[in-house]
C-alpha cells in the first residue's frame, strides 16, 4: 500500500548533522511554517491528516527524527537528553531557511519542542505540546516538582522496555496475535478503546511504528542494573534513556525570553502520559503487575500530567502564557482519534497568535 495520503509528498533533506526525511503538502511552499514532530515508536506518517487539512495560510512540514521513518539511523547520545533530536530539527530549519515557526510536538516530540523552546525561543512563534512527555522526563521522579527517586533514574530508561515488544518491532511483526505486538499496542495504548481506524490507516500507522530502528544506539537503548526495585537504571545510549530524568529536565521555561504562547492539547484518557501511566514501572508496581513494589514512600507513581501543569503554571507567573486544551474521550493520539476536533483546536490556537 501507499503510505502517503494523496497530496502528501516526501523528500530527504541533507543537513550538516544528517539527512532528514520530511513530509510536505504538495504545492504548499508559502504561509506560516508549522513543523510537526512525532513521538517515540512512530514517524511523520501519523501527522498526514492534520497536515493535509491545515488551512492554506500555513505551510506544514513533518519531520522524521533520527532512527525513525526515512531519516538516517544515526546513534542517539542519551546523555544530551533529547538534544540530538532538537539539534537535528534546528539543522533542518537552518537548511530550509525557516524561523519563527509554529512547533507541534507529540509525546516524546513534545520534549523535543521543549528543548527548542528553552534554548532558542526566538525561533518559535507558538509551541503546541500534544500529550507531551513530562518536563521532568519519563519515570523515576515523584511529586509535581520532579524530585528524583533514589538512586536517580530508578525505573526509567531502556530497562523499562518490554523485551517482547522490542523483538516484535525488530522482526517487523504486523500481527495482532499478542498483547505486545505493535498493532496491539497501537490499539490498546496509542488510542482509546474502542476507537477503530480504517484498515488502510491502521496499516499505515503500524508501518510507521515498524520504521523504528532497534538496538543499543536507537530503541530502546542500553540499561544499567541496580539492587533497588525494580532493578533498572538508565544507560547512556538510545531512545528511552533520552527521557530519563537524569538526562532530561526542562522545568525552567519561566527563565526564557521571549516567551512564546504554549498550547497543551491532550486526550483525557491517555494511558501512556498520565498520572497513572501503564508504562510507568512505579504505577505498575502499585497495581501489582511488577512484583516487589516497595511502596509509595520509595517508588510512587510519577504524576506526569500534574508535573507538566506545574511547570507551565510557573511559566505564566513569569509572564508567559499557556492554555490547557483537553479533548474528551480520547487517548494518547487525539490527532488520529478525533482529527477534525484536533485540527480545529490547533488552528484556533495558532491562528489566535499574532506577532
Instruction: Quick: pLDDT tens for 84-105.
Output: 999 999 999 999 999 999 999 9
Query: Binning pLDDT at 50, 70 and 90, where does residue 353 land?
Result: confident
CA dihedral of residues 62, 65, 71, 77 (deg, nearest 10): 160
Residues 133, 117: Cα–Cα separation, whole Å:
15
Continuous H helices in 67-188: 83-95, 108-119, 163-170, 182-185
Residue 137 has pLDDT above 70, yes or no: yes
Residues 19, 70: Cα–Cα separation, whole Å:
9
- Domain 8-352, CATH number (from 3.30.70.930, 3.20.20.70, 3.40.50.1820, 1.10.10.10): 3.40.50.1820
Average pLDDT over residues 227-240: 98
Give the pLDDT confidence score for residue 232 in this predicted structure: 98
* Domain residue extents for the chain: 8-352
**Separation in Å, CA 14 to CA 57, 61, 95, 98, 106:** 27, 15, 8, 15, 24
Residue 196 has pLDDT above 70, yes or no: yes
Average pLDDT over residues 220-248: 98
Residue 280 has pLDDT above 80, yes or no: yes
Compute the residue count for the chain. Answer: 355
Look up residue 59 and give its three cell numbers: 505551510
Instruction: Quick: pLDDT tens for 282-308.
Output: 999 999 999 999 999 999 999 999 999
Name the pTM for this structure: 0.98
Q: What percent of the chain has pLDDT over 70?
A: 99
Question: Looking at 214-352, which runs of residues are DSSP E strands?
Answer: 214-215, 219-220, 223-225, 232-234, 262-267, 322-327
Sheet of strand 101-106, all strands in order from the earlier edge strand to the far edge: 8-14, 19-25, 58-63, 32-37, 101-106, 124-130, 262-267, 322-327
Strand partners, 24: 9, 61
Query: Binning pLDDT at 50, 70 and 90, where does residue 352 land?
Result: confident
Amino acid at each position: 500500500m501507499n503510505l502517503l495520503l494523496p497530496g502528501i509528498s516526501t523528500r530527504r533533506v541533507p543537513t550538516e548533522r544528517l539527512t532528514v526525511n520530511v513530509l510536505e503538502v504538495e504545492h504548499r511552499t508559502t504561509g506560516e511554517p508549522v513543523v510537526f514532530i512525532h513521538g517515540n515508536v512512530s514517524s511523520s506518517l501519523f501527522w498526514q491528516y492534520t497536515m493535509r487539512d491545515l488551512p492554506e495560510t500555513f505551510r506544514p512540514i513533518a519531520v522524521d527524527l533520527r532512527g525513525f521513518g526515512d531519516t538516517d539511523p544515526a546513534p542517539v547520545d542519551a546523555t544530551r537528553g533529547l538534544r540530538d533530536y532538537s539539534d537535528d530539527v534546528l539543522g533542518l530549519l537552518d537548511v530550509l531557511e525557516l524561523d519563527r515557526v509554529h512547533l507541534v510536538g507529540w509525546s516524546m516530540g513534545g520534549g523535543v519542542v521543549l528543548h527548542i523552546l528553552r534554548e532558542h525561543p526566538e525561533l518559535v512563534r507558538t509551541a503546541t505540546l500534544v500529550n507531551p512527555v513530562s518536563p521532568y522526563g519519563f519515570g523515576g521522579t515523584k511529586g509535581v516538582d520532579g524530585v528524583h527517586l533514589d538512586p536517580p533514574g530508578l525505573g526509567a530508561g531502556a530497562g523499562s522496555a518490554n523485551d517482547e515488544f522490542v523483538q516484535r518491532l525488530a522482526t517487523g511483526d504486523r500481527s495482532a496475535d499478542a498483547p505486545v505486538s505493535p498493532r496491539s499496542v497501537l490499539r490498546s495504548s496509542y488510542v482509546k478503546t474502542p476507537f477503530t481506524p480504517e484498515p488502510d490507516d491502521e496499516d499505515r500507522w503500524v508501518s510507521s511504528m515498524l520504521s523504528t530502528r532497534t538496538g543499543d544506539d536507537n530503541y530502546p537503548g542500553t540499561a544499567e542494573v541496580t539492587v533497588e526495585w525494580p532493578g533498572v537504571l538508565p544507560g547512556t545510549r538510545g531512545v528511552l534513556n533520552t527521557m530519563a530524568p537524569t538526562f532530561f529536565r526542562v522545568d525552567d521555561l519561566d527563565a526564557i525570553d521571549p516567551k512564546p504562547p504554549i498550547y497543551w492539547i491532550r486526550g483525557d484518557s491517555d494511558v501512556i502520559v498520565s498520572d497513572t501511566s501503564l508504562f510507568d514501572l512505579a504505577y505498575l508496581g502499585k497495581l501489582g503487575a511488577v512484583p516487589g513494589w516497595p511502596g509509595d514512600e520509595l517508588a510512587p507513581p510519577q504524576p506526569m500530567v500534574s508535573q507538566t501543569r506545574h511547570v507551565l503554571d510557573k511559566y505564566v507567573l513569569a509572564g508567559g502564557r499557556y492554555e490547557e486544551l483537553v479533548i474528551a474521550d480520547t487517548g494518547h493520539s487525539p490527532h488520529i482519534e478525533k482529527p477534525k476536533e484536533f485540527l480545529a483546536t490547533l488552528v484556533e490556537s495558532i491562528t489566535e497568535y499574532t506577532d
